Structure 1
Amino acid sequence: MKKNLLLIIVILGLMGCDNFLEPKSDTLYIPKDVTSLDEMLLGSAYPRPTSTSVVISAGLQLLDDDVTCTSASGEVSSYNEPKVNSVRYIYSWQPNMFEEAAKVSMMYRGMWESQYKLILGANGALDYVDGVDGTYNEKTLVKAQAYALRGFYFFNLVNIFGEPYNHNPKALGIPLKLNSGVEQEDIARNTVEEVYKQVLEDLGDAEELYLSLPKDMQHKADLRTSLPMVQLLKSRVYLYMENWKEAAQYAKKVIDDWDFALIDLNTLELSTGTRTYYPFITRESSDVIWLFGQGGDITNYYSLETVGAGYTYRKIFNASAELTDGFKEGDLRKEWYIFRESYRFPDVFLAHGKIKTSSSTGILLENNAFTQAFRLAEAYLNLAEAAAMDGDETTALKALNDLREKRFTPGAPDVEVSGLTGSALVDKIRQERRLELCFEFHRWFDLRRYGMPSIKHVWNDGKGPVEYVLQEKDPGYTLPIPEVVMNQNRALIQNKLASPR
């Protein structure tokens, strides 16, 4: 048998991540029962915190307008300077960002390779599940998970390396790898439109399979994909496609058909001593639908520091003033969603938050903590935006105000939005989306579908500010495919590269 399974090779420890199309070993071990195959799916197709080599979003938050480094003071130590400079290439949208960043850490180029590795794990489960022992429900659950995961990775990849769907669906997207076998030839890129079609097919198959299962198997608090996860992702996909009716329909399913609940920030209490942050990205949160991701997605930038007089350590990256100024009087999210730098600088907001940490300051990520989640709040925002764009302003305002009620202190001015229509209402909803989902890897993708507006970044590592500008509809809004990937798959065509900045 010549077929290779990535998920098998991962378990044997024989796979490298230097070629997303061609695992390196012919050694095979094929599970005989569905339980073993399900365990392999968990280990080879899920982006778990324990999968330290799987980083699917590293660097993405450095690209948007919620992050700045203008509040740094002091200078970077010579020891840390190479790492800081590698991050600077991403922060300034350089066309050679992956090559320069990879000189220090391989995690940055891993956004491509890690996700194809996970796709192969999902494909392996789909290729072999019908041939193993197990009940119909057990096999159906494996298939549903595999389709959900593959659809998610294809969607994530095409929004990193392909142009926005609503801008140019005929542009080149990513290769669609739909089985676990070794390809005899290199695979060319499918169009953005073709990738979206496959994403919807995968999510449709996952949804149909979940619906064929008993209710208690459609969603479990076991950190795996589920029917509401699929429905929320379909709502997001349709939103990006500007299919407003379907986006609203699936958002309402998540809100109405399940027992998730928005966390009322008014019920959270500040400790009287050292500041303690509530961890929103955990399985205990009532609004969390699915958890994924690991520390490498964020620690590559938030731990970088400068050193000033008296060994005063300051973080290089902070939340931008444009973001923090958006939180108005009575909005509790500014207090709970964004970590402060330290007790010495309580008014300096860092460029991350919501995660589970191992210190009261929110600086250190707890071992094996998840860094990303599908949350119920997104469903309200998807519903609000889709309804507003479709002319259903009553539904849009209700969804928006239902969310804001849980985010503002009672009686705060303008807590209830009213009287807005048309583009003013859409703008308000999108601003609300920015505040609610800050530092959850949504902003860069949202800026792309909003028309790719101009962004200015200022770099200050203690040696003086340098300004970089991403122009409106700049080629830099579509990331370059790493050269190492281009060299392995000669059928790939590189994206139009931005000019060096």
Structure 2
Amino acid sequence: MKIFNRKLQYPILGTVLTAVLFLSGCKKEALQKDPSDKINTEVVFASTENAYSAINGMHRLMYSQWYSNQAAGGQSGNMIYMEVLGDDFVMTGAANGWFNSEYKWISHRDANSSINQYNYGFYYALIGNANQIINNIDGATGPEEDKNFIKGQALSYRAWGYYQMVQLFGKRYVKGGNNSGLGVSLILDKSTTAVERNTVEEVYTQINKDLDDAIALFANASGRPDVSHLNIDVAKGLKARVALTQQDYVTAAKFAKEARADYDLMTNAQYIGSFTTAANPEWIWGIRHREDQPTYFYSYYAYVGNFSSTNTRGNPKAINSLLYDKISDTDVRKRVWDPTGADKTFPVAASGVRMPYMTRKFTLSNPGNSNGDLMFMRAAEMYLIEAEALARSGSEAAAKDVLMELAENRDPDYVLSTNTGASLIEEILTQRRVELWGEGFRFYDLKRLNLPLDRNGANHIASLAVEFSIPAGDKRWEFLIPQGEIDRTLGVVVQNPL
């Protein structure tokens, strides 16, 4: 069966067939096929029961393989790409070659690379499916609460997809500045013609509208059956992320606090070994991996963790040694990495090498299977957004209190911060780097903060990393538009500066 696929051409968005993928377990090759208009949308949207299958299909896309690319296992591909492009995630060996070119800052500046194809096609495919749900669900038969729940999820997916893309393919957003540079093309319905790229400002305007509409719908929606489904907490968490990126700190603090309200922080005992299971109390949004839907070597855990793959055996991922040294000895998070590489009790992939500063953050309980639940949003992130936003908006006392809640949970010896101004913000950002290591935020954070890439003085290996310094604002902070898109739209979609 066929589903939507951006396929690096302007989308001719047909009917929603993600439902078929989810229910029938079609082969992964279906993801490489073009859209089909042969199945009537009236069938998919005849009832909310059918439409539930469509939204479930979107969830499945979040951990499906794309373009037969082993490194593009749904959202996990983006998460790893965003880490290897940063400074805190260290590659310790070349292994089988995956992510080496990205680590060197080569691939995302190649218009024909797989990283650009994936990050462009994956998010547009989700957006295309979301569009079909948004534009057809109102006519389905079924409870209004179910319609609101389904539509709210689709709007959240569309907002999130555009948010991910505009940060990659557009320039950094500057509050009060000139955001008229090109972002990505806004597609909100079925389209058969190429459309020029919208401005960064226009894309963010649409993102916020979708999230506001989703939050309103979720307020009168049925409850979600699982953490894999997006709900009002996810929409508010996304709103907080977007506001932080746009330097709208009052909005960021408000929605981050609301998003985390019903979620508990992990205990210290839970912190070690709980990052691969949806039973983690902090998870606001994530995928609960079904055992009958294996991910093999395109899983996140085939690259980061103790699953024994050629990559994990020869390239255990490590933390930046300078960042590690900033962690208090009484902080539970310091136990997530082995600075010596010699601790025989430290989990390692079967037959794998041990390296200094290697991680055990993403340890599978069954390392013989790459299946593992995968998180996309958790409460700790919301504490950090709230603290940063409060500090930047002048509410330093409140920022310290919020930071205290998180930090003393991780470190029983932590005391209320006495830092102020830039020092307080730096403390919060350091906490963020440690807490969210490996979860797909670092490239985005460096770009939104207008910081340079700086891998100097740490444990990055020169032959592997190659690039140690990239100035803030350099054109290399923008991904190139895939050349296939430019060719197939006959230049309507234009390239970023080369």
TM-score category (smaller protein): 0.7 to 0.9
C-alpha change, 1:381 and 1:244, in structure 2 (3 Å) is same
1:291 paired residue among 286, 291, 304: 286
1:171 equivalent to 2:181? Answer yes
Render the CA deviation track for 1:131-172: whole Å, top value 9, x for unaligned: 222111111111111111111111111112111112752221
**1:452-463 alignment, distance < 5 Å:** 452-456=451-455, 460=461
Q: Indicate the residue corresponding to 2:267 in structure 1.
A: 264
How many angstroms does 1:8 deviate by?
A: 6.1
C-alpha change, 1:482 and 1:350, in structure 2 (3 Å) is farther
Distance between the aligned counterparts of 2:365 and 2:202, measured in 1? 40
How many angstroms does 1:40 deviate by?
A: 1.5
Q: Secondary structure at the match of 1:439?
A: coil
1:65 paired residue among 64, 73, 87: 87
Q: Secondary structure at the match of 1:147?
A: helix
C-alpha change, 1:464 and 1:349, in structure 2 (3 Å) is closer
Q: Indicate the residue corresponding to 2:159 in structure 1.
A: 151
Paired residues of 1:288 and 1:376 also in contact (CA < 8 A) = yes
1:55 equivalent to 2:74? Answer yes
Q: Secondary structure at the match of 2:495?
A: coil
Paired residues of 1:281 and 1:291 also in contact (CA < 8 A) = no
1:278 paired residue among 270, 273, 276: 273
How many angstroms does 1:23 deviate by?
A: 2.0
C-alpha change, 1:268 and 1:128, in structure 2 (3 Å) is closer
Distance between the aligned counterparts of 2:65 and 2:273, measured in 1? 25
Number of residues paired by the alignment?
449
Paired residues of 2:233 and 2:260 also in contact (CA < 8 A) = no
2:237 paired residue among 199, 212, 232: 232
Q: Secondary structure at the match of 1:406?
A: helix
How many angstroms does 1:238 deviate by?
A: 0.6
**TM-score, normalised by the number of residues in structure 2:** 0.80
C-alpha change, 1:444 and 1:335, in structure 2 (3 Å) is same
CA RMSD, Structure 1 to Structure 2 (Å): 3.4
Q: Indicate the residue corresponding to 2:489 in structure 1.
A: 489
C-alpha change, 1:41 and 1:465, in structure 2 (3 Å) is closer
Q: Indicate the residue corresponding to 1:272 in structure 2.
A: none
Q: Indicate the residue corresponding to 2:206 in structure 1.
A: 198
Q: Indicate the residue corresponding to 2:9 in structure 1.
A: none
Q: Secondary structure at the match of 2:285?
A: strand
C-alpha change, 1:95 and 1:293, in structure 2 (3 Å) is farther
Q: Secondary structure at the match of 1:59?
A: helix
Q: Secondary structure at the match of 1:400?
A: helix
Distance between the aligned counterparts of 2:187 and 2:145, measured in 1? 26
Distance between the aligned counterparts of 2:302 and 2:178, measured in 1? 31
Paired residues of 1:68 and 1:319 also in contact (CA < 8 A) = yes
1:245 equivalent to 2:222? Answer no
1:37 paired residue among 51, 55, 58: 51
Distance between the aligned counterparts of 1:129 and 1:99, measured in 2? 37
Distance between the aligned counterparts of 1:300 and 1:59, measured in 2? 14
Q: Secondary structure at the match of 1:109?
A: helix
**1:325-364 alignment, distance < 5 Å:** 325-336=325-336, 348-350=356-358, 353-354=361-362, 356-359=364-367
C-alpha change, 1:87 and 1:287, in structure 2 (3 Å) is closer
Paired residues of 1:147 and 1:206 also in contact (CA < 8 A) = yes
Q: Indicate the residue corresponding to 1:424 in structure 2.
A: 423
1:94 equivalent to 2:123? Answer no
Q: Indicate the residue corresponding to 1:4 in structure 2.
A: 14
Q: Could you tell me which amino acid in structure 2 is paired with residue 66 of structure 1?
A: D
Paired residues of 1:68 and 1:320 also in contact (CA < 8 A) = yes
Distance between the aligned counterparts of 1:175 and 1:338, measured in 2? 45
Mean Cα displacement is larger for which, 9-18 or 327-336? Answer: 9-18
Q: Secondary structure at the match of 2:255?
A: helix
Paired residues of 1:211 and 1:218 also in contact (CA < 8 A) = no
**1:434-445 alignment, distance < 5 Å:** 434-445=433-444
Q: Which runs of 5+ in 2 are unaligned?
A: 1-11, 67-72, 290-294, 345-352
Distance between the aligned counterparts of 1:8 and 1:472, measured in 2? 39
Paired residues of 1:219 and 1:228 also in contact (CA < 8 A) = no
Q: Could you tell me which amino acid in structure 1 is paired with residue 370 of structure 2?
A: E
C-alpha change, 1:130 and 1:231, in structure 2 (3 Å) is same
C-alpha change, 1:300 and 1:96, in structure 2 (3 Å) is farther
Distance between the aligned counterparts of 1:339 and 1:198, measured in 2? 45
1:315 equivalent to 2:315? Answer yes
Paired residues of 1:281 and 1:288 also in contact (CA < 8 A) = no
Distance between the aligned counterparts of 1:151 and 1:212, measured in 2? 20
Paired residues of 1:456 and 1:469 also in contact (CA < 8 A) = yes
2:259 paired residue among 254, 268, 273: 254
C-alpha change, 1:203 and 1:96, in structure 2 (3 Å) is closer
How many angstroms does 1:423 deviate by?
A: 0.9
How many angstroms does 1:89 deviate by?
A: 2.1
Q: Could you tell me which amino acid in structure 1 is paired with residue 325 of structure 2?
A: D
C-alpha change, 1:419 and 1:316, in structure 2 (3 Å) is closer
Q: Indicate the residue corresponding to 1:446 in structure 2.
A: 445
